[in-house]
């Protein structure tokens, strides 16, 4: 690797890390404003430029929050396992940031001969990573270890219950998440994220061709990110914060920032895997279109605009839906999402085999409009039939009434009659 490649890699890492951390800070401000809008109240709007009366709609609030957390006393309770207590937020933050080595932020930039760059610049830190999707999925799974370690090392029953809930939730929803992902990989025949986007640019977005897989993946991504209505590991009403109850200062900031970064990562994956990535019909061209500076800028803008819309959807859901009960959370994963994911994977396998050149004289082996229309129609039929079956088999009402037949003293051994 020459010095030019090292400089390009260093610039990519700096831009991505700086952009992600800044975005996480200001998405906190955006979420507080969205919460105020949904709940019909005022959001943060007073903090502006220091030592001035310029408020800038509260855009200085993230800076004030960051300064407050940096200056806050760094306190570690005496009853915790100190080494694991410090290691937990480091693990979850490292895993959250390392994922972006394989996530593209566009297609590529044109060569810059004036700087000695004679090849197009791929807008991804680790270009041509053949196992990119496995890498992303593996690092996303590692994040749960930080949560479990934080709950265990805190030596607190609320934190411990939060860690247990998180482990159960992550294991349950990683299965439908993987099944939704496998449908895309099966249809594309590649684990590279840029290849998945390129196929959608030349054919159709997978959200239209695999609507059932799209819904399964989005619901599982909400649960993996720990966002409402899936924030059981840290719900304030029951666990006072869950696995990070004992944390404060910068260690707490690492946990909270990693949570927002997971939401941003989930939004990127939803856009790249199902919503066409940087592609937009009539604007960004296909995968073989010659890259110009204008086209590269348009592709970056389209990708970031889609990601912003998905993040805004995450925020709307958080402040509009009530939290699930834990048994409802597990029921949704094992009895609804998992079967739907299996149905989607089997249907995609049949449709992909249907497009093989050895069937029907190869008439449906190309990406013609007729073939694309048939594939999309088949995907929607499978999705509609599956949802009708699930709705007919699921109870219409959840019984939340207290069990009068239970002996309260038998349920809780700490109570004395």
User: How is 76-114 classified by DSSP, letter by letter?
Assistant: --TTS-HHHHHHHHHHHHHHHHHGGGS--SSSEE--BGG
- The alpha carbon torsion through 325, 327, 332, 333 (nearest 10 deg) reads 120
Distance between CA atoms of residues 391 and 387, nearest Å: 6
Distance between CA atoms of residues 371 and 62, nearest Å: 50
Q: Mean of the pLDDT values across residues 157-166? A: 82
Distance between CA atoms of residues 332 and 296, nearest Å: 41
What pTM was computed for the model? 0.88
pLDDT-above-70 percentage for the chain:
90
Say which residues have a Cβ less than 8 Å from residue 251's Cβ, sequence separation at least 6: 74, 85, 86, 89
Q: Mean of the pLDDT values across residues 385-406? A: 73
Residue with tokens 């991504």: 221
Query: Quick one: pLDDT at residue 370?
Result: 78
Among candidates 222, 181, 213, which has minimal Cα distance to 383?
Answer: 213
State both tokens at 2: 């020459």
8 Å CB contact between 287 and 201:
yes
Distance between CA atoms of residues 85 and 74, nearest Å: 13
Provide the strand spans (E) within 280-396: none
Query: Quick one: pLDDT at residue 406?
Result: 60
Domain ranges of the chain: 1-71, 74-348
Among candidates 140, 157, 162, 393, which has minimal Cα distance to 266?
Answer: 140
Per residue in 271-299, pLDDT (tens digit) is 999 998 899 988 888 877 888 889 989 99
Q: Are strands 108-109 and 121-122 parallel, antiparallel or unpaired?
A: antiparallel
State both tokens at 59: 């855009």
Say which residues have a Cβ less than 8 Å from residue 116's Cβ, sequence separation at least 6: 4
Per residue in 38-64, pLDDT (tens digit) is 888 877 777 777 667 777 777 788 888
Query: Quick one: pLDDT at residue 405?
Result: 64
Query: Quick one: pLDDT at residue 212?
Result: 93
Confidence of residue 3 (pLDDT cuts 50, 70, 90): confident
Q: pLDDT higher for 404 or 386? A: 386
State both tokens at 163: 């860690």
Per residue in 335-381, pLDDT (tens digit) is 889 999 999 999 998 888 877 666 655 555 566 777 788 888 988 99
Does the pLDDT of residue 6 top 60, yes or no?
yes
């Amino acid at each position: 690797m020459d010095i030019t490649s090292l400089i390009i890699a260093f610039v990519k890492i700096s831009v991505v890390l700086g952009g992600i951390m800044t975005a996480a800070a200001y998405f906190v401000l955006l979420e507080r404003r969205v919460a105020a809008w949904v709940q019909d109240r005022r959001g943060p709007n007073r903090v502006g430029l220091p030592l001035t009366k310029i408020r800038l709609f509260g855009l200085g609030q993230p800076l004030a929050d960051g300064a407050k957390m940096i200056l806050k006393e760094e306190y570690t309770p005496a009853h915790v396992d100190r080494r694991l207590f410090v290691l937990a937020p480091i693990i979850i933050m490292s895993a959250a940031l390392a994922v972006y080595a394989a996530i593209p932020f566009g297609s590529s930039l044109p060569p810059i001969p004036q700087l000695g760059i004679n090849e197009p610049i791929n807008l991804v830190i680790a270009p041509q990573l053949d196992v990119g999707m496995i890498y992303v999925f593996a690092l996303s799974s590692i994040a749960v270890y930080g949560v479990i370690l934080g709950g265990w090392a805190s030596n607190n029953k609320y934190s411990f219950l939060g860690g247990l809930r998180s482990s159960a939730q992550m294991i349950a929803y990683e299965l439908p998440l993987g099944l939704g992902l496998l449908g895309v990989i099966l249809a594309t025949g590649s684990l590279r994220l840029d290849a998945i986007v390129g196929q959608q640019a030349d054919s159709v977005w997978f959200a239209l061709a695999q609507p059932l897989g799209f819904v399964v993946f989005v619901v599982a991504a909400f649960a993996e990110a720990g966002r409402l209505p899936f924030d059981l590991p840290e719900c304030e009403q029951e666990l006072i914060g869950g696995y990070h109850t004992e944390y404060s200062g910068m260690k707490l900031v690492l946990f909270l920032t990693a949570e927002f970064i997971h939401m941003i990562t989930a939004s990127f994956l939803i856009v790249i895997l199902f919503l066409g990535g940087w592609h937009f019909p009539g604007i960004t061209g296909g995968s073989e279109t010659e890259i110009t500076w204008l086209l590269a800028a348009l592709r970056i803008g389209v990708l970031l605009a889609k990601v912003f819309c998905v993040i805004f959807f995450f925020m709307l859901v958080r402040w509009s839906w009530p939290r699930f009960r834990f048994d409802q959370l597990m029921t949704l994963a094992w009895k609804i999402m998992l079967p739907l994911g299996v149905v989607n994977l089997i249907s995609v396998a049949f449709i992909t085999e249907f497009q093989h050149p050895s069937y029907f004289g190869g008439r449906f082996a190309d990406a013609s409009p007729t073939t694309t229309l048939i594939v999309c129609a088949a995907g929607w039929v499978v999705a509609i039939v599956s949802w009708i079956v699930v709705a007919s088999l699921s109870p219409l009402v959840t019984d939340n009434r207290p069990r009068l037949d239970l002996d309260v003293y038998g349920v809780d051994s700490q109570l004395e009659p």
